[in-house]
Structure 1
Amino acid sequence: MFIDADNLNDPTALDHVLLSVRSLADRIVYRRAYGRAESLRAIEAVLWRHGVRPVANLIVDKTTTDSALVIDAVEAVCRNDIDVVAICSGDADFVPLAMWLRERRCRVLCFSLPQKIFANPESFYDEVVLIDVVSDSLPAPLSPQTPALEKRENAARKLPPAPAVDVRAKVKATPKIPAVKDLLKALPELSTRKPLHLSVAAKELRAAGLLSKTGSSTTLFQRYPAQFELLPSKQPNTVRYRG
């Protein structure tokens, strides 16, 4: 898991992302966050809680966050048996990295805030998860189980108190799953049983309102394995109607 702290530096959203990723894997080998000192400081308590290693930028005129993250991600995949990589950033600068990881047969996930994601990210990532953080004008109540020990430990480490996690932070809603007949109506080319490129299919499905702006056509067709075949099986780029 590689976090661009200069891009995804909202502590509530990041805490939600880290909790979500922990539920997807038995073990997360790499947990690293890259960014300027002020960016890492803003999420310091969240990084500590989830055991994420902060990696500060070198002190140079140009920001080195992207380069450091890319180098470590490539090294990690080359040296270890890693099959899933999560990139926490909506920055398009990581598209070449995502494409390289997919060529290495890694499943690549993207976590981002809706207002910080580039256009058409699902073309480069296997799954895109957008986190909406709902702010509240009222202060969050303290948990009855918040121990004084946590405050003492934070003071000893000179860390700010952990931010309250907004339980309403959620994955952006996706449109209703369309029926097979709706897919065929939007993509009449599939009725010929000839393969159709997924990028073309995604464009037509969005125009028909059957796929969200950040939705994945691959994921959509995977819901109907009896009717649609994705080719090639490892890294599909076309879809064929089985009939």
Structure 2
Amino acid sequence: MIAFLIDADNFSSPVWIDEAFQTLERTDGSISIRRAYGSAENLKGLADSLRIWAVRPFVNLPLPKNTTDMSLAVDAMELACMVPKPKLVVIGSGDLDFVPLVVRLRERGIKVVCVTERSKMAQDAVPAYDQVIYVGGDQVDQPIAVEPKPVATAPVRPPTKKVSIKSPAVKTTSSKPLPAKKVVAKKAPAKKSTGASSDAVTVPRILAVVPNLKAGQWQLLSEVAKVLHDEKLLAKNATSTKLFKKFPHHFELMPAVKPNQVRFILPLQ
């Protein structure tokens, strides 16, 4: 049994949902449990796709943030306690908030796959999943097949009689050896940088691109990391956790193990 649970507040494009179902049914088979969680507005925008794929919508209560994530997580743990339990749970969201849920599902022997759009994926959450499937475009470069070229063979000629020809003696004008040519080493081309150097990233630059941190309130690390990636202050494969740990007197992470929140430490007045 396979369950596909969609966070419609994050995985919010009809095109992504269509591509996700096509990919999952092609690789894993029929999906038994299909549910979408989100606000009434987001679910209304996905109405056609949900109807086509027979997905049950679960409208979220009009409460503050994270209520959709909690609703999805509660149902996922309820499914994990069923007999028989699902062999595969697919979460349609790239939020970092689902990592504790993924860990608990895997502890119960359930394979967990994430389906998301690349820009929505929190990089710190990738290692928690058994597999991450990206939708919304060509994500994998296919190798180009090269056909081997035929090897040209020279025509066989009949043997000819060897004629010995004496070569004239070459006069040497000097016994000194020729000077060796100087070999100039070519410089390797400089690698293109995919993001800002860690030395160039400063606390004022971080606060300039993420002004919400200036208030000193806790912010979701995944959302802050996305802004830093978009503004090229964080390299493509770099993690936001390592970046903030370079400024222990200015930023605080929580919890200590696998942090998912960050705040700016306001200076004492």
Calculate the TM-score normalised by the size of structure 2.
0.49
Q: Which structure ranks higher in relative contact order (CA pairs < 8 Å, sequence separation ≥ 6)?
A: 1
User: 1:121–1:128: 8 Å Cα contact kept in structure 2?
Assistant: no
Is the counterpart of residue 76 in structure 1 residue 79 in structure 2?
Answer: yes
State the one-letter code of the partner of 1:40: L
Match of 1:52 among 52, 55, 65: 55
Q: Secondary structure at the match of 1:6?
A: coil
Which amino acid is the alignment partner of residue 101 of structure 1? L
Task: Give SS of 1:9's match.
Answer: coil
- Contact 1:57–1:63 (CA under 8 A) maintained in structure 2: no
C-alpha separation between the residues in 2 aligned to 1:12 and 1:55? Answer: 20
Aligned to 1:23: 26
1:130 — aligned with what?
134
From the CA coordinates, give the structure whose radius of gyration is larger.
2
Q: Is the 8 A contact 2:69 2:98 kept in 1?
A: yes
Distance in 2 separating the partners of 1:174 and 1:88 = 23
Runs of 4+ residues deviating >4 angstroms? none
Q: Call closer, same or farther: CA 1:105–1:174 in 2, change over 3 Å.
A: farther
CA contact (8 A) 1:89 1:112 kept: yes
CA distance in 1, matches of 2:32, 2:106: 18
How many residues align structurally?
Answer: 142
Quote how far apart the aligned CAs of 1:110 are.
Answer: 0.4
2:63 paired with 1:96: no
Distance 1:107 1:94, change over 3 A: same
Distance 1:127 1:75 in 2: 22
Deviation, structure 1 residue 175 = 9.2
Say whether the 8 Å CA contact 2:25–2:31 is kept in structure 1: yes
Q: Deviations over 1:129-159 (max 9, x none)?
A: 111x3xxxxxxxxxxxxxxxxxxxxxxxxxx
Find the counterpart in structure 2 of residue 118 from structure 1: 122
* 1:21-66 deviation per Cα after TM superposition (whole angstroms, max 9, x unaligned): 1223343221000000111111110011001100000133445201
1:176-233: CA deviations, max 9, x gaps?
8xxxxxxxxxxxxxxxxxxxxxxxxxxxxxxxxxxx95xxxxxxxxxxxxxxxxxxxx
| TM-aligned CA deviation for residue 174 of structure 1 | 6.2
Which amino acid in 1 is paired with 2:92? C
**Alignment partner of 1:7: what SS?**
coil
Q: Do the aligned residues in 1 keep the contact of 2:39 with 2:62 (CA within 8 Å)? A: no
Distance 2:77 2:141 in 1: 32
Partner of 2:33: helix, strand, or coil?
coil
Q: Give 1:105 shift.
A: 0.9
Give the CA deviation at 1:121. Answer: 2.9
Residue 173 (str. 1) matches residue 140 (str. 2): yes
Deviation at 1:82, TM superposition (A): 1.1
SS at match of 2:6: strand
Matches of 1:66 and 1:57 in 2, distance apart?
A: 10
| Residue number in structure 2 paired with 1:86 | 90
Identity of aligned pairs, percent?
A: 36
Question: Which of 10, 14, 17 matches 2:17?
Answer: 14
8 A contact 2:37–2:60 mirrored in 1 = yes
